[in-house]
């Protein structure tokens, strides 16, 4: 059987920023050949496999995604992603986010002797809003527990694999101010939409972003205006002006942006709403933390994560989630993206440990 490193190399070499089909083919083929399990490929390309356990009433899923963000020019050549390996690290687009963790989960799915039904899932479209996860959920993908092996940066320190028990979501919205056009030489003949928009900006600036605690860890949101566009010419009173708002949401709350609406003058529309995540079972989180601790020399902690993941969609659907993956600072979405091969082996060991020890409601 392939090692985690071998499988990571094979997966990372396959381009999957525009079309995830070939990467999904490899995952599906490997699971069919290496595991005696029920493997399915759904209507959008998600690969899902299940290992049933007699009398198991609950299920644990190892979850990842095999799409990636577009590569830097230096990361692709001859229709393949460029791979280099040095100092115990594999460099290439998707190595950290998150084909390395997908490989670790595939091997753990094969190797573990699970205490409950064990599920493996690799989704498409995570980088464009969780399209694969949302499709799977609509098709009744609903494990009781999930470890999402997301490898994005910013929630762990070098040498330590921490466990994220919560992450922020992202709500992108547009505030549009309406006015009445007029010649700029007679400003009182019209209603200046830019001025109305500026009033809305001040209201946004006055909003206190919500925050919350998850198992004693603080998650704080933010609300910020990021773009403004309006007007048609230097000598015309503008009749329309739009403002883009980036809001980082926290579990259970949203900023009261609807308050900016003013009938006929200001409207507010939501363009994207990626849900936040909060683990709802501290015993499960501690079990994953203990498994990660056994797999490394340092002492992992329960932490929060700034970026949205497919765990948000799963948690919204009622799945108890944590995030545990190769999340070293400064790696994902960069032209120097890489992953520590030792950390991938650590993740594999932790995934196996949880699959063999977690008994859900019996804990």
* Same domain membership, residue 148 and residue 87: yes
Residue 241 sits in a domain of what CATH number?
3.30.70.360
Structural domain for 250, as ranges: 169-274
d(CA 224, CA 277): 21
How far is CA 69 from each of CA 20, 97, 151, 247, rounded to the nearest angstrom? 11, 9, 13, 22
Task: Give pLDDT tens digits for 133-170.
Answer: 999 999 999 999 999 998 654 455 667 889 999 999 99
* Same domain membership, residue 117 and residue 43: yes
* Same domain membership, residue 181 and residue 146: no
Three-state DSSP at 249 gives strand
Give the pair of three-digit tokens for residue 258.
């609807």
First-to-final CA distance of the chain? 33
* Same domain membership, residue 289 and residue 262: no
d(CA 331, CA 339): 7
- Please check whether residue 116 is in contact with residue 360, taking contact to mean a CB–CB distance below 8 angstroms: yes
Q: What pLDDT is stored for residue 306 in this prediction? A: 87
Task: Give pLDDT tens digits for 240-288.
Answer: 999 999 999 999 989 999 999 998 899 999 999 999 999 999 999 999 9
Q: What is the pTM of this model?
A: 0.92
* Same domain membership, residue 191 and residue 147: no
* Same domain membership, residue 139 and residue 54: yes
Of 241, 274, 307, the domain-final residue: 274
* Same domain membership, residue 63 and residue 131: yes
**Nearest Cα residue to 248 out of 287, 206, 277:** 277
Q: How many CA atoms lie within 13 A of 115 on its CB side?
A: 14
Q: What pLDDT is stored for residue 56 in this prediction? A: 72
* Same domain membership, residue 340 and residue 194: no
Residue 43 sits in a domain of what CATH number?
3.40.630.10
**CB-CB neighbours of 89 under 10 Å:** 18
Count the domains in the chain.
Answer: 2
* Same domain membership, residue 281 and residue 163: yes
* Same domain membership, residue 305 and residue 160: yes
* Same domain membership, residue 203 and residue 82: no
Instruction: Extract the residue ranges of the chain whose pLDDT is less than 70.
Output: 1-2, 54, 151-158, 329-330, 361-363
Three-state DSSP at 62 gives strand
* Same domain membership, residue 178 and residue 150: no
Of 220, 242, 274, the domain-final residue: 274
Of 206, 241, 274, the domain-final residue: 274
């Amino acid at each position: 059987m392939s090692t985690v490193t071998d499988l990571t190399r094979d997966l990372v070499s396959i381009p999957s920023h525009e079309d995830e089909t070939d990467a999904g083919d490899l995952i599906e083929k490997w699971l069919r050949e290496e595991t005696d399990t029920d493997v399915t490929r759904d209507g959008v390309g998600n690969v899902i496999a299940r290992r049933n356990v007699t009398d198991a009433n609950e299920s644990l899923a190892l979850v990842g995604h095999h799409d990636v963000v577009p590569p830097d020019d230096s990361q692709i050549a001859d229709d393949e992603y460029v791979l280099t390996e040095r100092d115990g690290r594999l460099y290439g687009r998707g190595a950290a986010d998150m084909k390395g963790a997908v490989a670790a989960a595939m091997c753990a799915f094969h190797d573990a002797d699970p205490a409950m039904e064990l599920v493996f899932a690799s989704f498409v479209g995570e980088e464009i809003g969780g399209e694969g996860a949302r499709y799977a959920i609509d098709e009744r993908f609903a494990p009781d527990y999930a470890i999402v092996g997301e490898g994005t940066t910013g929630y762990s320190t070098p040498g330590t694999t921490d466990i994220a028990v919560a992450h922020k979501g992202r709500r992108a919205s547009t505030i549009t101010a309406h006015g009445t056009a007029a010649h700029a030489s007679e400003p009182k003949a019209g209603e200046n939409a830019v001025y109305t928009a500026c009033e809305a900006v001040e209201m946004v600036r006055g909003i206190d972003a919500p925050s919350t605690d998850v198992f004693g860890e603080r998650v704080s949101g933010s609300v910020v205006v990021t773009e403004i566009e309006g007007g048609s010419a230097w000598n015309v009173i503008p009749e329309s002006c739009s403002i883009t708002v980036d809001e980082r949401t926290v579990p259970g709350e949203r900023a009261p942006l609807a308050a900016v609406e003013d009938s006929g003058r200001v409207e507010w529309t939501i363009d994207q709403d990626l849900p936040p995540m909060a683990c709802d079972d501290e015993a499960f989180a501690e079990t994953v933390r203990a498994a990660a601790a056994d797999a490394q020399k340092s002492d992992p902690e329960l932490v929060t994560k700034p970026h949205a993941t497919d765990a948000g969609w799963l948690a919204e659907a009622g799945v108890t989630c944590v995030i545990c993956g190769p999340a070293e600072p400064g790696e994902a979405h960069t032209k120097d993206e890489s992953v520590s091969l030792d950390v991938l082996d650590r993740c594999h060991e932790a995934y196996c440990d949880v699959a063999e020890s977690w008994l859900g409601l019996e804990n």
